[in-house]
Every structure is written in structure tokens, then in C-alpha cells.
Amino acid sequence: MAILEASGVSVLRGGKAIVDDVSASWSAPGLVGVIGPNGAGKSTLLLALAGLLRPEKGAVALDGAPVLGMDRRALAKRRGYLPQNARCEWPISVERVVALGLTPILPAFGDLPASEKSRVGEMLALCDLAAKREQSVTTLSGGELARAMLARAMVGDPELLIADEPIAGLDPKHALDAMHRLRDAAARGRLVIVALHDLSLAARYADRILALKGGRAVADGPTGEVFTPGLLKELFEIDARIERDEAGLCVRFVDAA
């Protein structure tokens, strides 16, 4: 069971705190939604949580071990990471791009084992990309590329998955499909941490919410407890109602006009 802990994490840029003294602890299984306005520090915090950025203050630990002190290959086996607006400039096939997500667990030489080829095919199908298998990734639409990159992050079934805006640019069908994939990973015992701007999907799919504003954590806890109209007003300066229907929580925006 993965346990990820951030202790007093601060990241500075030009002397300004982009992430300011954030402390939190999450354990698998579960899906954590990270929300906040533009410039709140979400992407920077996720980089630090993934062990890809060294904070000026504080530390991040995975199962008690500092992520920055872990062997890079060992960390990559356990942690998947999907950056915001992921890109691929190489004219390689979609299948090969997805297979790159298996690099940390593959032998140094030889082709993909049959079991891993099967896993790549499964992820292509789950992300509605089976028909694009042999197509160059550079010819994909923005939404198709986003799905390919999500498939790459998930193909190794990491115990910790960190994804920064994985549904940005997706149409409604594929956005819901992506959230189902992430929710399923959490249900299988994984810890999934996802930055989201879609508040309705965050409310519906996340078990816990971490809310950031100005680099600081203003709320951290179970979604049903911390996801309130007052929080959304504080974060986004909007009026909203939080309602519950047969599918779970949903956000209804109030037109102030």
C-alpha cells in the first residue's frame, strides 16, 4: 500500500513561493483531486510529489523513503507521472509511445515480452486508440495525443500515479472514460493524484480533495466534507451549489447576474 507524504514543501521561483509550506499525507487506495485557480501551484506541487523537482524547503516521502533519494529506475517502477500538455515530437507509432511507459520494468535488451505486448494492446483499447496503433503519434489530434499519453502513464500499472490535467482537451466521452480509468486504478488499490479544473468531475470521482490557492493548501480532506460552496467561493470567486444525485456529488453554478 503506497503512502505519500509531503512535509512543509515549498518551491520558490524568483524569490516568490510558488508552493508554500504544503503538508499532506495520502495512502492507497484512493483518488485525490488537486484543485485550485490558475497559478495556484498545482503543477509545481505535482512535480515535487513525483520526485521530479527538488523543493527549497520540506520533503516528499513514499512509504517513508525520501523520493529524491530513491534510485531513479526503482522510483519509475512504482510511480507513473503524466505532465500537463504532454508532447511527443518523434514520428513513432502510437503503440511504441504507449510501450515507453513500460521502460522501467523491461529487460535492457530484446523485444517486448508477450505479456507486456498484451498489456499495451489492452491500454490502447481502453483509451479508444486501437485503430491508431500503427499511426505516427505526430499525426494525432490534441485529444488523441492526450489519451495516448495517459495510456503510457498507466500501462505499467504503477502503485502511485500522478497526473496533471489528464482530461484537458478531451471531449466529454473521452474525459469520462479517462476518469473511469483513473477511478478503476484507485479501486484496484492504487494511489492516484490528479490535478483537475473540471470541478464536477473532481467532486464526482475523487475520494479526497487538496485545494490550493496562492501556493498554500486551504483544504485537505474527504471530498464530501471539504468540497463546499464556501471553498469554491474562496478559490474561484464563484457561486455554486453542491448537490448529490444517483451518480454522486455534482456542482451547480449559480449565475450571479
Give the pTM.
0.92
Q: Give the domain range for residue 240.
A: 3-253
Sign of the C-alpha dihedral computed for residues 227, 241, 38 and 138 taken in this order:
positive
Amino acid at 21: D
In tens, the pLDDT along 2-47 reads 999 999 999 999 889 999 999 999 999 999 999 999 999 999 999 9
Q: Is 169 left (phi over 0), alpha (psi -120 to 50) or beta?
A: left
In tens, the pLDDT along 127-154 reads 999 999 999 999 999 999 999 999 999 9
CATH number, domain containing residue 66: 3.40.50.300
Structural domain count of the chain: 1
All three cell numbers of 7, joined, read: 512535509
Phi and psi at 169, nearest 5°, equal 85, 0
In tens, the pLDDT along 69-82 reads 999 989 988 999 99
